[in-house]
Homo-oligomer: A and B are copies of this chain.
């Protein structure tokens, strides 16, 4: 069963899917309280930077550095290089990843810089992503810079 911590990100991913978007969702917690959610909005906004994690940070708005340092970023899928870079820029110390079966992003880079990663291997996240990747391979490959 999907953990309570992951649920808002998974719901954001599902919302994205319902909008015709790429079903990846994210949530930002500061000191245990949820501050924002985000979802990949490449399709919805024609955006090349609104990956779920960046959309979530943007929704959260301008936070003091001290908040980022107390934050956990949750994402349904392993973060790509760009999103990992944002995590490093803002010094977010902990990242919870729904699954990395369908895509393994910059986990080594994050670990090498001291970010604590937790991979939940959540079945619902994995199935949602797998279904999408099978149905829309071009869109998925565009999103990770391969097409």
Q: Which residues of A contact B (CB under 8 A)?
A: 42, 46-49, 54, 57-58, 60-65, 68, 80-86, 88-91, 106, 109, 141-142, 144-147
Contact = CB atoms under 8 A, between A and B. Distances in A.
Contacts of A62: 42, 46, 48, 142
Nearest to A79: B85
Contacts of A88: 81-82, 85
Given A42-B62, A147-B64, A86 B142 contact: no
Contacts of A80: 85, 89
A128 B20 CA distance: 43
A50 B68 CA distance: 17
